[in-house]
Structure 1
């Protein structure tokens, strides 16, 4: 259930999160957008990221012909590594047979189902007996990051008209607890990939999972389901949700880029309608997501590191502190990471990084991209368990520079018809 994959040389851990697809029919707008997203990803170098993540709700109705659409895209454009999990729509009509066959056909390494004995919830009078069902969860190591992919769907029922029922089941819960503790004992940073917030699990499981993440210092929980971009931070764990490919109330369609650099999380949404290169600062961490304070070296400098995604290898990258002079950043790896050691005068507040495509004419917003962070001078970690642990109670609200509008428009929060 656990695999190991090499991380890009001298590059932070990077994952591209392509939100819920909800595929229905060929050439629908969201089908075309999904093709465009994978076409763009296919232009990046092999070492630019670690994998593409699909957080479930791949098919709107869990139908075989809907999975055929994503199979074609993965066959034509898929990078070397893709991880996917089921969402509630993949069991829209109470059956995950088509999802299981789809996973078997695409032959992704480590995605084989695990047969567990799980007592299903009743769908009518009386309780159904325990049955052996397949569950799709696994672990994979990328350098010093352990990734855990959870199946919240198979152990519930999630039938259309009966409401959602997110469960892991006892066997998967025990596996999750063991993997999280093992990651900590091996000094690995733990990242969890699931369809939605732990709080949406059945009540007993929700409390157990949220408490486990907080107590063991899981650094990142990456999710779908919301249909909008959202970032939350409870002082130890960053909760990140990305908008769907199809639902259009949250601005431009695109995908999220998440990174872990020396145990700290960074995240930013890339809109598909921007033709510029994309840049994400991975070090230092922003105060809103950081778990430790920024400390300059003895020479008064800090290392600024950023990941750039582009189809061009001729990208220039530069950084500056507050309104100081721009400083050229050197390419630190084959995978699009750049870094520079910069002076950090007392009282400094911001770091900005720009990535410049060779087509940039020297003016205008096209072919140039900028990211900015505010490193923390102090970080206070609460010793007491926060309220609303494992839910969106810790959400940070609007953060436009990261692509987060903060208005929570979407079907599961705002009751939209999707």
Structure 2
């Protein structure tokens, strides 16, 4: 298993202009071998190895990796992760801390000590521990030491001109101490953190507080809203993109990484968020068969061929765009002839962007987004679902 084991030491990969791309495997809640969540994990790893390995930067497990945090449950997980052919970053959730200890989490799973920071290209990735400073259950805490570390890391990234992504188990507002939650959320805003990638909710959800995108991915182990799968996230310059792939969706997978969808606009003065006249469309596409061609369409216009940038391995097209609101579609076709389409809704003015609550919670959720498998019902145990 290719895994970061650097503790609080920095691991740095040489700078490049390629988008940062990772896959998110939703809360597993593993209990016993060969149950549906275990088999889904095995399928996710098989697909990742076949289609994504060596083409994305890492995978992340966002906590609640097992249901009870026992060594036996971590052995199930470790045996599968040993097959994964890409770096994996693992953070703990409340279920991993049921015994009030993370010993098995570290010793059996080999998970890195947290907090941890990794620089990849132009982005600083910060991995946090919500549980060890608490007393168990949903008593989520960062603690003074981790908050100081976080501020130092964000300041360091800022002085180095790096964008930042934070990986945590839940929304800032889910921290048990309201004052700590406010301090954490203020840091995210002050340092313009691009995205907080999370688990915990059990359902797909995106929220936008006007500065930071919050991305939660459907649980793999306790699902109430739809089929199992995994999400893909990218930071391309100053744009965050996200999409969910169900396990039964055929490959290839296409993903527009720039410009920003109107729901995810956080830099309204950037032409990558609010373009005018012309824009540069960036996309990624993956298939074990190899990609034959990638095409782009602006609204109802004709499809145009995109070119492959050898440096970034992104498909690109510079094109004229209309004023107002319109859709950009990208279609990737692999060498077997199978195709996939991704789309974003783009606006050329910030006048209609919604007002934000900006409190680090799901109050700024973008709502249902059918193309992204976001149902919008918040059907999970932390809102409207069963009490698992």
Same fold per TM (> 0.5)? yes
Q: 2:306 corresponds to which residue?
A: 329
Q: 2:280 corresponds to which residue?
A: 303
Among 358, 374, 377, the alignment partner of 1:404 is 374
Taking the aligned partners of 1:8 and 1:42, their CA distance within structure 2 comes to 25
8 Å CA contact retained: 1:11, 1:333: no
Taking the aligned partners of 2:20 and 2:28, their CA distance within structure 1 comes to 24
| Structure 1: 5+ residue stretches without partners | 114-135, 361-366
Shift of 1:165: 0.4
Among 169, 179, 183, the alignment partner of 1:208 is 183
1:147 is aligned to 2:125: yes
Shift of 1:75: 1.0
CA RMSD of aligned residues (A): 2.4
- Specify whether residues 14 and 294 from structure 1 end up closer, same or farther in structure 2 by C-alpha distance, changes over 3 A only: same
Number of matched residues? 377
Q: 1:289 corresponds to which residue?
A: 264
| Structure 2: 5+ residue stretches without partners | 1-7
Q: 1:6 corresponds to which residue?
A: 13
Q: Deviations over 1:351-374 (max 9, x none)?
A: 1101112333xxxxxx32111112
Q: Deviations over 1:260-300 (max 9, x none)?
A: 1111111111111101311110011111112235649x995
Q: 2:155 corresponds to which residue?
A: 181
Shift of 1:7: 7.0
* SS of aligned partner of 1:413: coil
Structure (1 or 2) with the larger CA radius of gyration: 1
Q: 1:96 corresponds to which residue?
A: 102
Taking the aligned partners of 1:27 and 1:335, their CA distance within structure 2 comes to 39
- Specify whether residues 258 and 90 from structure 1 end up closer, same or farther in structure 2 by C-alpha distance, changes over 3 A only: same
8 Å CA contact retained: 2:24, 2:59: yes
- Specify whether residues 94 and 349 from structure 1 end up closer, same or farther in structure 2 by C-alpha distance, changes over 3 A only: same
Q: How does 1:350-365 map to 2 (within 5 A)?
A: 350-360=327-337
TM-score w.r.t. length of structure 1: 0.85
- Specify whether residues 287 and 204 from structure 1 end up closer, same or farther in structure 2 by C-alpha distance, changes over 3 A only: same
- Specify whether residues 323 and 195 from structure 1 end up closer, same or farther in structure 2 by C-alpha distance, changes over 3 A only: same
Please identify, of 31-40 and 341-350, the stretch whose mean Cα deviation from structure 2 is larger: 341-350
8 Å CA contact retained: 2:276, 2:348: no
1:156 is aligned to 2:134: yes
Among 343, 350, 364, the alignment partner of 1:379 is 350
Q: Deviations over 1:132-178 (max 9, x none)?
A: xxxx21111111111100000101011xxxx4200111100100011
TM-score w.r.t. length of structure 2: 0.91
Q: 2:35 corresponds to which residue?
A: 28
Q: 2:116 corresponds to which residue?
A: 138
Shift of 1:187: 1.4
Q: How does 1:34-53 map to 2 (within 5 A)?
A: 34-44=41-51, 46-53=53-60
1:256 is aligned to 2:231: yes
* SS of aligned partner of 2:51: coil
Shift of 1:380: 6.7
Among 300, 308, 317, the alignment partner of 2:294 is 317
Q: Deviations over 1:4-51 (max 9, x none)?
A: 343796531101010111111110001000000011000135442111
Q: Deviations over 1:176-234 (max 9, x none)?
A: 01111221222111110000001111222111101111222111000000000000001
8 Å CA contact retained: 2:325, 2:348: no
Taking the aligned partners of 2:37 and 2:313, their CA distance within structure 1 comes to 29
